[in-house]
Amino acid sequence: MSDYPRDLSGLSGPELVRLLLDATNPPPATDTERADFFDFKARVFATLARRDENPTAATIASRARSDRDRLLARIEDQNRGGR
């Protein structure tokens, strides 16, 4: 499991952005790390979307969830012996 914080509710917008930027240094290298990152990114932007009623942040959160799901499907396929 990732080291990303689960509860983001008490963090300010700049703190959320700083955490997100920190999460890319170093960049996630494996599919599992990338899936964890996209999960975290989705949670960060969902928090911003709720807090600011920001439709752009909601769209970014949705795309990050899609990226996460795509990676998780690929990991699952690899674990089953797929390509």
- Contact assessment for residue 48 and residue 16, using Cβ atoms and an 8 Å cutoff: yes
Q: What is the mean pLDDT of each run of 10 residues along the chain (83 residues)?
A: 80 92 94 96 95 94 98 94 66
Please state the φ and ψ torsions of residue 6, each to the nearest 5 degrees. -85, -45
User: Which pLDDT score is estimated for 1?
Assistant: 44
- Confidence at residue 29, expressed as pLDDT on a 0 to 100 scale: 95
Q: Which of 16, 26, 1 lies closest to 49, judged by CA?
A: 16
What's the pTM value of the predicted model, to 2 decimals? 0.88
Cβ-proximal residues to 45 (8 Å cutoff; 6+ apart), any chain: 57, 58, 60, 61, 64
| DSSP 8-state secondary structure symbol assigned to residue 9 | T
